[in-house]
Structure formats: C-alpha cells, structure tokens
Amino acid sequence: MPKKDNISALLAGEIPKIEKQMEASKWFGEHEEDLRKKYGGKFIAIRDKRIESSTDVDGLIGKLGVERSNWFIVYVSRKKTVACW
C-alpha cells in the first residue's frame, strides 16, 4: 500500500523539474523565430539551453536518455501560425 504522503514526496522532487521546464518554455518563446529557421517542422526538446531534435516524438524521446521526462518538448511549426485549439 502506498503511504499517504507518497504524492507529496513525489511532487516535491518534481517541482524543480517543472520550474526548469518553464524556464525552457520561456526561452523557447523568446527564440521561437530563430529556432524555426533551424528546426521548423521538427520536434525539439530543450534543457538548460541544450536542444535535441527529431522529425517525430518517438525518435526525439529516444535521444533524451534516462532523465527524458525532465526536458521541455515542443513541436516547431514550419511557419509562424495562429494557435487555435
């Protein structure tokens, strides 16, 4: 049986990781147009300003190693688009 505070302990360890991802997300937003020139049409993963890329998600995640869930992953469109979900 999991302990009552399992989620709290798990999340405590993940908060620094989400903060790193949000930093990467902000950095992506600030450099999106430059990144589009090089990575347009690809998926990229960003961590500490390091970038990995692939044409598909499975290929990208395969490049990320054991700490793969710590990377910020995003699709870079070929052209600037209007987001509409």
For residues 50 to 69, the per-residue mask of contacts with another protein, x marking binding by CB under 8 A and - elsewhere, is ------xxx-xx------xx
Output the smallest distance, CB 79 to another protein, in A. Answer: 13
The closest alpha carbon to 67, from 39, 47, 84, 41, belongs to: 47
Output the smallest distance, CB 27 to another protein, in A. Answer: 10
27-46: which residues touch another protein (CB under 8 A)?
28-29, 32, 43
Looking at residue 67, what DSSP letter applies? T
Using rule CB under 8 A, residue 85 touches another protein: yes
Q: What is the DSSP string of 22-52?
A: HHHHHHHHHHHHHHHHHHTTEEEEEETTEEE
Residues shown for the chain: 85
Tokens at 1, concatenated: 């049986």
Instruction: List contacts with another protein (CB under 8 A).
Output: 2, 6-8, 10-15, 17-19, 21-23, 25-26, 28-29, 32, 43, 56-58, 60-61, 68-70, 72-75, 77, 83-85
